[in-house]
Structure 1
């Protein structure tokens, strides 16, 4: 069961999370507020408010979820990283598969 790690501005994070779950591309999206420091266009941007999105999806839907994030995200270069855990509890894995199955 892969998890996508995504950062987004607070104003877009809720909509992005809801879209992924509504479209069954994610079973769940956890949103965690954070502050980011990064280099962009040659300058350091310090203390920018963002939200971390932990997108729980299935092996079958991960590519579609990633494509949808890139399409809907307001950033030119959004952070989208894929984590593939070595182990996931069986009941949780079954729930993710069920929740991301196309209707």
Structure 2
């Protein structure tokens, strides 16, 4: 069984809360942690840019990968949102079981 950790950043706490609540309410994520302040340096439109952002760590099951990507893109204020997915299959068994139980694994459910 494979689980995923999804990383995304956004520009406001309102946006972070909306994304987190929606993903958990829709049961495509078991948990979303919000880190309220990070400073990001990146190249955008040919220039080095510095922004204050909010980091979201999203825990789910790999069966939700495409739904998570789709929902993050729909909810996100950025033209090209950061969506990085890290697969893992090891951790505290009871926690991994909780992720599995918390996420809707029914592929037909929308």
TM-score > 0.5 by shorter chain: yes
Which aligned pairs between 1:11-90 and structure 2 lie closer than 5 A? 11-32=14-35, 33-46=37-50, 48-90=51-93
Partners of 2:62 and 2:87 within 8 A in 1: no
Compute the displacement of 1:60 (Å).
1.7
Partners of 2:34 and 2:55 within 8 A in 1: yes
Residue ranges of structure 2 left out of the alignment (5+ in a row): none
Query: Within 2, Cα distance between the matches of 1:59 and 1:40?
Result: 30
TM-score (norm 2): 0.85
Alignment size in residue pairs: 102
